[in-house]
């Protein structure tokens, strides 16, 4: 004997599905269309003109308060102060990391402003600060 209930159930599910799809389509059609906004990256300059205006090298050192710079050196690169030299109202500090192999020379003013004047990699445990200052085998 033929049981029509599975076919009726399947038909009800199909009608419900197609009804839901139709309602969703109408809802999306009723939504206002948003406008796409575009902003030029370089006020009317071509790529060649924009690149031509860039400096050859970055000459300005990265400067901030000593607390901010040293927190970044210790937190981001695991660097600790290895040596310092003082001259008049300012000083030079060498920060280095045995773990990361990086090193950084800071110029520190008495007012608390610190500037990164040189940095590189190749620092190893047991190296002397003079290897960095005198332009030794480090990058």
Confidence of residue 133 (pLDDT cuts 50, 70, 90): low
DSSP letter (8 states) at residue 38:
-
Closest CA relative to residue 66, chosen from 112, 8, 10: 112
Greater confidence, 69 or 3? 69
- Work out the pLDDT band at 80, boundaries 50, 70, 90: very high
Reading the block at residue 109, the tokens are: 């003013």
Structure-model confidence comparison of residues 125 and 80, the more confident one: 80
**Model confidence, pTM:** 0.53
Q: Buried (b) or exposed (e) across 61-84, using 16+ Cβ within 10 A? A: eebeebeebbeebeeebebeebee
**In sequence order, which residues have a C-beta less than 8 Å from that of residue 85 and are 6 or more positions away?**
91, 92
| Long-range CB contacts for residues 21-26, cutoff 8 Å, separation at least 24 | none
pLDDT, one tens digit per residue, over 29-38 is 766 665 555 4
Domain chopping of the chain, boundaries? 62-133
pLDDT band for 139, please (50, 70, 90 cuts): very low
- Specify the range with the lowest mean pLDDT, choosing from 56-60, 67-71, 104-108, 119-123: 56-60
């Amino acid at each position: 004997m033929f049981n029509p209930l599975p076919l009726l159930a399947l038909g009800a599910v199909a009608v419900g599905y197609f009804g839901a799809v139709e309602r969703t389509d109408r809802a999306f059609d009723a939504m206002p269309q948003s406008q796409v906004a575009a902003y030029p990256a370089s006020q009317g300059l071509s790529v060649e003109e924009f690149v031509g205006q860039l400096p050859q090298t970055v000459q300005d050192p990265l400067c901030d308060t000593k607390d901010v710079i040293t927190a970044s050196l210790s937190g981001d690169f695991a660097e600790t102060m290895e040596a310092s030299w003082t001259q008049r109202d300012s000083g030079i500090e060498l920060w280095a990391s045995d773990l990361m192999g990086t090193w950084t020379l800071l110029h520190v003013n008495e007012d608390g402003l610190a500037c990164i004047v040189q940095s590189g990699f190749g620092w190893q445990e047991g190296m002397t600060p003079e290897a960095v200052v005198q332009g030794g085998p480090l990058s």
